[in-house]
Chain A
Amino acid sequence: MSAKGKAWFIAASIAVFIATAAVSFVVGNYSIESGKLVSYLTGRGALDENERYIIFEVRLPRIVMASLTGAALAAGGVSMQAIFRNPLVSPFVIGLSSGAALGAAVGIVYLNASVAAVESLSFLFGTVAVFASYLLSGFGRETTLLLLFGLVATSFSHSAIGLMQYFADPEHQLPALTFWMLGGFDGITLSSLKYSVPVILACMAVLYAYSYKMNLLTLSDAEARSLGVNVAAAKFVIIFFSTLMVCSCVSKAGVIGWIGLTVPHISRIILGPDNRLVFVSSSILGAAFLLASDDLARTLTPGEIPVGIITSAIGAPVFAAILLKYRKSGWN
């Protein structure tokens, strides 16, 4: 694709995202006519108190968090794929999601499922799982070791989660834990976004600044070094900020699968492998994809479906379609 075509593609993705966000304000179980919202925003009409509450206190924070989470998961996927030189890893590859789930389980089972406890524990356990893998592997020097220690952290967390599920109260705790692990944006308030929004945006900015170094890191450690990259420092920065970013989202929204894997892949098929473009495009598409999935999650049934179910239901077949394409053309 030409440089102009790539610019058009990114512009089109932004348009899709804006359209999805606009639709997200008006769809939902409490129906608000789009005309009414438009005339309110242009100062020609009014909304009643209920409608204002729904739009600004319920839907706005939800839209902000779903967009940022989608962007962060996709951008985290791009970053980890560069570190592992593998287009098939997700941002959860070194233990983040299972560590975070273990933290959430502790909060739900032992601390009365208080929101603050679940959030802070899942953030803490998620980051600890990643940095334990990172330190045990000798600061990520050997990528294979890092991957394997990530596997160890994942398995260990899963056995602890299993134990807690076994002893959890099946009436209240077990469903809460299950719902958390499938991900969702219900109950997100504007005030709860005060810290996570700036943290996520700052991490994303740092990672984007490293997107060219990511290109060089995909070659090999030795080549990246001989092309001028301080490999150990670059790996640390990328792992640190992507963990901080993804954990900030997971601790609020639970584990949402497939975005970190599928969205960067689609971006690469269209834009080529340059991470300076793939990072931007994946963030925008990830935001649009998760936002649309969340719209489905809250409209498909009178209640609410965990959004992770929707992203897997869409992401897995899309990924299968990509794989079928490779079956014809060969992997490389």
Chain B
Amino acid sequence: MNARIQIENLSFKYPSRPGRSRSYIFRGLSAAFEAGSSVALLGPNGAGKSTLLNLLAGHLKPSEGRALIGGTDISKMPADEAAKLVSVVPQEHHPAFNFTARDMILMGRAPHNGFFGIVSESDHEIVVEVSKKTDLEGLLDNEYTKLSGGERKRVILARAMAQQTPVMLFDEPEAHLDIRHQHMFFKLISGLARDENKLCIYSVHNPSLALRYSSVVILMDAVGENIIIGPTTEVMTCRNLETAYKVKFGMAEGGSMGALLYVET
């Protein structure tokens, strides 16, 4: 299945948001994202990053326009078909029941395993494979709720990888992670895009991570009127970031680390 996402004239407004001055989160958004891209979704709090991710996941229906995955409108797809095309890595959460890490990762196979979720030998092999990539091999039989925040996050990533979808969405993958695991996580994501030709789209707060790991950037401003979409090197300029975030940015060039962004005080 082609992982291409095309959004056409996409608009979204929440039914009623008392106290909000703007009715639309964004309006008339059109763009296309190709398989193999690693797309960073940047913007200040409340810009609509999560809303856009939810639209692409099919959790929300657009007010106008549509989002197509491989040519099909995602909001009209039944959940079981959508789950074979798009996986989602949500922010941290605390489930009420004590499934093991292995149980959680196996749930990623649910869209492929029919109504009753019967797992086969190959599902267990997939679990081993993704747990190696996410550094979880020794933790598979631990209870998910007893893992650390970073470990839980990796379990949810492993679950999405086990889902084996051409499109993967991530909601603020760097949250709750220390700086080493942030980089490990983003390396994995850009590897999935580059080596497995997946389309990975993630919302992110740290512009440096976007600059370093993404190939495409969607930069949203606080009111949803000025949304810039394009190759990372073209979009990530100090001027564009200043317009979106209303703070002054500086950029330092540094060796193999690439450009490092900082906020001028």
Contact = CB atoms under 8 A, between A and B. Distances in A.
Interface of A: 85-87, 209, 211-213, 215-216, 218-220, 222-223, 225-231, 268, 272-274, 276, 332
16 contacts: A87-B97, A209-B115, A215-B107, A218-B96, A218-B97, A219-B95, A222-B57, A223-B93, A225-B59, A226-B83, A226-B86, A226-B87, A228-B83, A228-B111, A272-B99, A272-B103
Contacts of A216: 107, 110
Contacts of B54: 222
Contacts of B93: 219-220, 223
B117 A332 contact: no
Nearest to A332: B145
B256 to A, nearest CB: 36
Query: Which of A87, A218, A219, A231 has the most C-beta atoms of chain B within 10 angstroms of its own C-beta?
Result: A219
A230 B87 contact: no
Contacts of B99: 215, 272-274
Nearest to B99: A273
B108 interface: yes
Contact of A218 (B78, B84, B95, B115): B95
Contacts of B86: 226
A85 B79 contact: no
A228 B98 contact: no
A222 B88 contact: yes
Nearest to B86: A226
B231 interface: no
A324 B119 CA distance: 36
Contacts of A218: 95-97
A85 B97 CA distance: 8
A86 B96 CA distance: 6
B88 A230 contact: no
B79 A225 contact: yes
B95 A212 contact: no
A242 B80 CA distance: 24
B97 A268 contact: yes
Nearest to B87: A226
A275 to B, nearest CB: 9
Chain B's interface size range is 20 to 34
Given A212-B117, A223-B93, A272-B98, 17 more contacts: A209-B115, A209-B116, A216-B110, A219-B95, A222-B57, A222-B88, A225-B83, A226-B87, A228-B82, A229-B80, A230-B79, A230-B80, A231-B79, A272-B100, A273-B98, A273-B103, A276-B116
Interface string B63-94: 00000000000000011101110111010011
Contacts of A227: 83, 107-108, 110-111, 163
A240 B57 CA distance: 28
Given A209-B115, A212-B117, A226 B57 contact: yes
A230 B96 CA distance: 21
Contacts of B107: 215-216, 219, 227
Contacts of A268: 97
Contacts of A228: 79-80, 82-84, 110-111
A85 B99 CA distance: 13
Contacts of A215: 99, 107, 117
Would you list the 8 A-B pairs with minimal beta carbon distance, nearest first?
A: A228-B83, A228-B111, A273-B97, A212-B117, A226-B88, A228-B80, A85-B96, A332-B145
B146 interface: yes
B87 A332 contact: no
B40 to A, nearest CB: 20
A274 B83 CA distance: 21
Interface string B113-137: 0011100000000000000000000
A59 to B, nearest CB: 37
B79 A229 contact: yes
Contacts of A220: 90, 93, 95
Nearest to A212: B117
Nearest to A84: B96
Nearest to A221: B59
A230 B93 CA distance: 21
Contact of A230 (B78, B95, B108, B146): B78
Nearest to B113: A212
B90 A223 contact: yes
A213 B83 CA distance: 14
A80 to B, nearest CB: 13
Contacts of B88: 222-223, 226
Contacts of B116: 209, 211-212, 276
A194 to B, nearest CB: 31
Nearest to A88: B96
A216 B159 CA distance: 12
A220 B110 CA distance: 15
Nearest to A273: B97
Contacts of A272: 98-100, 103
B150 to A, nearest CB: 17
Query: Which of A225, A231, A268 has the most C-beta atoms of chain B within 10 angstroms of its own C-beta?
Result: A225
